[in-house]
Amino acid sequence: MKKVAVVILNWNGVKLLEQFLPSVIQYSPEAKIYVADNASTDASVSYLKTNFPSVTIIENKANFGFAQGYNEALQFVEEDIYALVNSDIEVTENWLQPIISLFENEPTTAIIQPKLLDFKNKANFEYAGAAGGFIDKYGFPFCRGRIFETIESDSGQYNDTFEIFWASGACFFIRKEIFRELKGFDPDFFAHQEEIDLCWRAFNKGYRIKYCGASTVYHVGGATLESGSPRKTFLNFRNSVWMMLKNLPSSQLFPTLFIRMCLDGVAGVRFLLQGKPKHLWAILCAHYYFYIHMIRFLRKREGHQSKSYYKTKSIIYRYYFKNGKIFDINL
């Protein structure tokens, strides 16, 4: 049995499979390739059966979204390392070797992300994960190579191996036993920030998360849900506060959440001033879901929550008031 399973989650993405699956097959001789199909209504499954008979198809019974979609499919995958790869990822030659070596040499490393560059502008990092992710005290995510809307060009500045807080779900490597120990992604999230929640839970258990700059992939981004979508705004804001409710240390839980909710209010006013009332409504709906499910998510809290989860107190303050638009190791 091969060591790595490359698992691509698909929903009505036959055109993406046609464009990107060949590179995955060509450059992944160390891996077994799976496509987990979320009950597509297009020709995805028949296309795969006709054109890529070597690919193993796992057919989910419904469109479970990203989180539960992977949870359902990975029950049937037994390779030691899972490589969860978006259907809009182009991989490069030898992309797997540095990742495999890192897992072999570092038994406490549970999760790894490669360098994520922009498929549409290959000199730039890609928004969804860039060179590895962090969060601030109030749960706002940012990356080496991308802070809010400021995206860096790749000049080799992040060709290192570096410990990070979260790895992008666009191309996410995790040991099988760790994924199962953590009971996978939280299915309530459906999509967006479920990988940060999973990484946070791994971090709380003492596992390490790494970025591997020797491995490069290119990501289209926004291929399944446009970046300007109110639905995406809703999922990001809702899932972020749910994630904090689950993982913040007890001594900081409610004071930190209160400040975060106030900051969300500021974001909502900003959307309104930009002429985007649907995004303000999305934030209000996200907070409504937070309150009605608060007790259930408090019950998901585990025994230990680390106090050292954040890289900087406020990335918003640093970005907007201190002109901190580029990642600094001394944040």
Return all residues near 142 (Cβ < 8 A) that are at least 6 apart.
Answer: 133, 134, 135, 136, 148, 315, 327
Mean pLDDT of 310-314: 94
Same domain, 275 and 214: no
- 153 and 30 Cβ atoms separated by less than 8 Å: no
Q: In whole angstroms, what is the distance from residue 1 CA to residue 88 CA?
A: 27
Domain residues for 12?
4-219
Q: Rounded to the nearest 10 degrees, what angle do helices 230-247 and 194-204 cross at?
A: 10
Same domain, 137 and 267: no
List the one residue out of 268, 282, 191, 266 whose CA is nearest residue 234: 282
Q: In whole angstroms, what is the distance from residue 201 CA to residue 245 CA?
A: 12
Same domain, 281 and 180: no
In a domain, 328, yes or no: no
Q: In whole angstroms, what is the distance from residue 27 CA to residue 29 CA?
A: 6
DSSP-assigned states of every residue in 107-131: TTEEEEEEEEEETTEEEEE-TTTTT
Mean pLDDT of 136-140: 97
Same domain, 170 and 246: no
Q: Quick one: pLDDT band at residue 95, thresholds 50, 70, 90?
A: very high
In a domain, 327, yes or no: no
Same domain, 23 and 142: yes
The domain tally of the chain equals 2
Task: Tell me which residue has tokens 């290192």.
Answer: 160
What are the tens digits of pLDDT across the range 199-222? 999 999 999 999 999 999 999 986
Same domain, 239 and 176: no
Same domain, 258 and 208: no
Same domain, 280 and 210: no
What are the tens digits of pLDDT across the range 276-287? 999 999 999 999
Task: Tell me which residue has tokens 């036959």.
Answer: 14
The pLDDT of residue 303 = 83
Mean pLDDT of 269-276: 96
Q: Quick one: pLDDT band at residue 226, thresholds 50, 70, 90?
A: low
What are the tens digits of pLDDT across the range 54-81? 999 999 999 999 999 999 999 999 999 9
In a domain, 320, yes or no: no
